[in-house]
Structure 1
Amino acid sequence: MPRIDKLPTPSQDSLSSVNGFPRYSEAEMQRRYDALRRVMDDVGTDVAVVCGGTSGLETSVLYFTNWAPSVESYLVVPRQGDPVLLARLWNHLPDARLISVVEDVRYGGDTPVEQAENVADLLASMGFDGRGIGWIGPLRAADMTTLQRRLASATFTDLNAAYQDLRLVKSEEEMVYTRIAAGFNDAAVAAMEAGIRPGMREYEIAKLIEDVYLDQRGVNLIHFTMSTPMSDPRVCVPHQQHPDRVVQEGDVVVTEISTTFWGYAGQILRSFTVGAEPTPLYRDLHAVAVQAYDDITGLLRAGVTVGELLEAAEVIDKAGYSIWDDLVHGFGGAYLPPILRTRQTRGATHPDDYAYPTGTVLVVQPNVITPDARAGVQVGNALRITDDGAEVLQEHPMGFLRCA
């Protein structure tokens, strides 16, 4: 099936803005609440309690309110009636009221313990003791204990799996934000290609990456890197934390970058050499990675199955290599299942007959490594599945890039 070229990156000027901040449209927010209430109808809950906070991969409160909490905060959504947002901390309350689409914004509390009690008070005052309460997000065990103690007659149901299914498929409005974020990723890789030099420390690469989007309201989600000599490799997958290793001529540098814009992110994965051509081993690793990427993305269309993608990934094992990182995963607002590796490396979170719906945003990212896990490369992009192909969200070339 054909892939679709990356669409032009939209300008932030095209976005709706209220009080100086981006604002999802009323129709988009209604779509999200309607979907949540359908989930509540399906499972028989009367109210949803949404908890979210500090992680760029945890955007559940942002998704339903347009406001991104910096610490754990709560949204209470009745199946019938208006939602209520409880925001921690006190000094975060003014921005929550400026940015959120929810009209009823209240103070959550100074501490998590106080906030949990306030959420319980709110649910009790709304008449939800003895009824079905669903939750979304990383609800703290201590908070759940408080809710169950205070609302002893209620029935609690985990809605996270259904919520993840909602987040896997992106609307056209969500894609506007995603494409803006994807443009930041392309700019970051271009800055690495132009700026990496022998003699710099690996942690200095972070400045190259972040400088391109800090003045555009982009926010780092991840920028993982690794560097190692191609002649004597010691690392096969990018580090989550940047070491102080000095980059040298003859190195390979591998990166994984996701920059967020208002809760959405693309993802780009590229490999570079420093002042040298790839060695035969690295040339072969990269060729196999690109082949796996092409074979997988060539299958992407609405209805493609997990089993079909796993079969396409067999090219890696047949070449005598393996992977370390995940091979395919859902993305955008969260790190989402299905999560696929290869059949030789733990398989997938979903059965072979799981079929991807149209509108799915996912990342294809072959991290092809030697069996001894000493050498590796990585390539990949975020893509959006359509009825007859996939839109590639990144546009920077995927060849073996050369710095210096």
Structure 2
Amino acid sequence: MYLSERERDRRYDQLREIMVKEDIGAFVVVGNNCVGGTTGTGSFRYLTDYFMIFSYGLLIFFRTEDPTLFVGSDLQHVWASRYSWIHDIRVSPDLAQLAARLLAEKGLTRGKIGVVGMGSMPAAAYLSIKERLPEASFFDADFIFFGIRLKKGEAERDLLERAARINDDAYKEVLKHIRPGLREYEIVGILEGYHRGRGSDQTFNLISSGPFPTSLEGIPFQGLPWHPGIREIREGDCILLEMTTTYGGYWNQLVRMVSVRKQNPEVIRFHRTALIGLEAGLKEIKMRAKTRDLVQSVARATEKEGFALGLPMGHFAGLDVMEGRVSPDSDVVLEPGIAVVIHPCVMNAQGVRFLWGQTYFMTDDGPVKLNQSDDALHVV
């Protein structure tokens, strides 16, 4: 769909070297339409350059032979045949049965078989395959793919940059339209329409709105965004936007807050602290620091301003919007080729949260900001 056969061959060769070294006979790779986290299936797209629009699929990736893709409908078969890297595509209402039969036909009734996307695989499918291949040794192989996928090449960077441009322009567009009287779902509709209209194949946008830091009734601002609701925007509100979209499967995230009709002095304090924290964190990771060092650096800078650093702090991004957390206990070294979303969660003593950030790409010279949106606290 988006990447060359040369890139496909590079990926396949790298993976097969690992399979030979570790004596792995095959991988069973799960695909679905989730956006990421423990149920994400970016590894499926990594090997197919294709994504499931509904239900799930199973890719059988062999050590020496071409892979086979099982899907559950003729619709998926037609479009996977047209757009994916896979030539052997089969349709069945029982993917697990076909997968087990194929593995047996290839002589893989014993030995190691890695399951990729264990958190996404239907339990019934996993148990069915295991029951049909009782002597095979199945294991969770997600860690192998995490290591391969974490560091992106130039072709992947190009797609990440394209997604960032679409997201930046969508933010500019929505700023033109926000006004009192709109509802949350209308604001998110503008974002998603812009994303889709510029070629995004997936879009995932969250929002939170209301008085900041608390309402007249003392209700704290919901600083963790959620699915757009029916709430009507009012003058004096603040709106938190978590704008997330893809191009070619590669995710970009941009997090901003805007004020409606008038500036809010409380928001200014939070915003200033978030930028100070970001600056401290980016300075830290110029030296290829561990992820936990980044978090600690942002936390120290935030605390100096009289706030605390809450969670979430960020996440690694790629073919899943969240390929791993930016957490205080992560030992992942921020090396060139890694794409990371950093959005400090500034929190006051009352637990009010403020998020602000964007996506970065690590290079030999340090982090490069993929998003070019300004850091201004806009009043609309």
Greater RCO (CA < 8 Å, at least 6 residues apart)? 1
- Distance (whole Å) between structure 2 residues aligned to residue 220 and residue 371 of structure 1: 37
Give 1:239 shift. Answer: 2.6
Q: Residues 249 and 275 of structure 1 are in contact (CA less than 8 Å); yes or no, is this contact kept in structure 2?
A: yes
1:244 aligns with 2:224: no
Q: Aligned runs of 1:142-221 on 2, under 5 Å?
A: 142-221=124-203
Read off the aligned partner of 1:381 and give its amino acid letter: Q
1:379 aligns with 2:349: no
Runs of 4+ off more than 6 Å:
none
Higher alpha-carbon deviation: 227-236 or 183-192 = 227-236
* SS of residue paired to 1:299: helix
* SS of residue paired to 1:85: strand
Change (3 A) 1:318 1:97: same
- Distance (whole Å) between structure 1 residues aligned to residue 213 and residue 226 of structure 2: 23
- Distance (whole Å) between structure 2 residues aligned to residue 380 and residue 398 of structure 1: 9
- Distance (whole Å) between structure 1 residues aligned to residue 326 and residue 85 of structure 2: 36
Q: Which residue of 1 aligns with 2:278?
A: 293
**TM-score relative to the length of structure 2:** 0.91
Read off the aligned partner of 1:132 and give its amino acid letter: K
Q: Residues 167 and 254 of structure 2 are in contact (CA less than 8 Å); yes or no, is this contact kept in structure 1?
A: yes
Give 1:204 shift. Answer: 1.2
Q: Residues 52 and 61 of structure 1 are in contact (CA less than 8 Å); yes or no, is this contact kept in structure 2?
A: yes
Change (3 A) 1:170 1:236: same
Q: Which residue of 2 aligns with 1:26?
A: 5
Q: Residues 209 and 238 of structure 2 are in contact (CA less than 8 Å); yes or no, is this contact kept in structure 1?
A: yes
* SS of residue paired to 1:76: strand
**TM-score relative to the length of structure 1:** 0.86
Q: Which residue of 2 aligns with 1:126?
A: 106
* SS of residue paired to 2:285: coil
- Distance (whole Å) between structure 2 residues aligned to residue 214 and residue 305 of structure 1: 36
1:81 aligns with 2:56: no
* SS of residue paired to 1:46: strand
Q: Which residue of 1 aligns with 2:379?
A: 402
Read off the aligned partner of 1:286 and give its amino acid letter: H
Q: Aligned runs of 1:217-296 on 2, under 5 Å?
A: 217-230=199-212, 232-233=214-215, 234-279=220-265, 281-296=266-281
- Distance (whole Å) between structure 2 residues aligned to residue 272 and residue 41 of structure 1: 53
Change (3 A) 1:255 1:65: same
- Distance (whole Å) between structure 1 residues aligned to residue 101 and residue 213 of structure 2: 63
Q: Deviations over 1:22-68 (max 9, x none)?
A: 33111111111122223323433111111111113332222111121
Read off the aligned partner of 1:46 and give its amino acid letter: G
Q: Residues 316 and 326 of structure 2 are in contact (CA less than 8 Å); yes or no, is this contact kept in structure 1?
A: no
Give 1:290 shift. Answer: 0.7
Gap regions ≥5 residues in structure 2 = none
Q: Residues 45 and 319 of structure 2 are in contact (CA less than 8 Å); yes or no, is this contact kept in structure 1?
A: no
Give 1:165 shift. Answer: 2.0
Q: Which residue of 2 aligns with 1:48?
A: 27
The structure 1 residue matched to 2:306, chosen from 309, 320, 327, is 320
- Distance (whole Å) between structure 1 residues aligned to residue 34 and residue 317 of structure 2: 14
The structure 2 residue matched to 1:363, chosen from 341, 345, 357, is 341
* SS of residue paired to 2:24: coil
- Distance (whole Å) between structure 2 residues aligned to residue 92 and residue 338 of structure 1: 29
Q: Which residue of 1 aligns with 2:367?
A: 390
Q: Which residue of 2 aligns with 1:72?
A: 56
Give 1:241 shift. Answer: 1.1
Q: Deviations over 1:175-204 (max 9, x none)?
A: 111111111111121122211101111221
Give 1:332 shift. Answer: 1.3
- Distance (whole Å) between structure 2 residues aligned to residue 240 and residue 357 of structure 1: 32
1:311 aligns with 2:296: yes
Q: Residues 184 and 232 of structure 2 are in contact (CA less than 8 Å); yes or no, is this contact kept in structure 1?
A: yes
* SS of residue paired to 2:315: strand
Q: Residues 329 and 362 of structure 1 are in contact (CA less than 8 Å); yes or no, is this contact kept in structure 2?
A: yes
Aligned-residue CA RMSD in angstroms? 1.8
Q: Which residue of 2 aligns with 1:339?
A: 325
Give 1:124 shift. Answer: 0.7
- Distance (whole Å) between structure 2 residues aligned to residue 302 and residue 105 of structure 1: 46
- Distance (whole Å) between structure 1 residues aligned to residue 371 and residue 178 of structure 2: 21
- Distance (whole Å) between structure 1 residues aligned to residue 2 and residue 350 of structure 2: 49
* SS of residue paired to 1:271: strand
Read off the aligned partner of 1:26 and give its amino acid letter: E
- Distance (whole Å) between structure 2 residues aligned to residue 161 and residue 302 of structure 1: 25
- Distance (whole Å) between structure 2 residues aligned to residue 277 and residue 171 of structure 1: 42
* SS of residue paired to 1:34: helix
Higher alpha-carbon deviation: 266-275 or 50-59 = 50-59
- Distance (whole Å) between structure 2 residues aligned to residue 204 and residue 337 of structure 1: 29
Q: Which residue of 2 aligns with 1:18?
A: none
Q: Residues 61 and 69 of structure 1 are in contact (CA less than 8 Å); yes or no, is this contact kept in structure 2?
A: no
- Distance (whole Å) between structure 2 residues aligned to residue 298 and residue 236 of structure 1: 30
- Distance (whole Å) between structure 1 residues aligned to residue 126 and residue 18 of structure 2: 21
Read off the aligned partner of 1:368 and give its amino acid letter: V
Give me the identity figure in percent. Answer: 25
Aligned residues: 368
Give 1:134 shift. Answer: 0.7
Q: Residues 383 and 391 of structure 1 are in contact (CA less than 8 Å); yes or no, is this contact kept in structure 2?
A: yes
Give 1:166 shift. Answer: 1.7
Give 1:358 shift. Answer: 1.3
Give 1:217 shift. Answer: 2.3
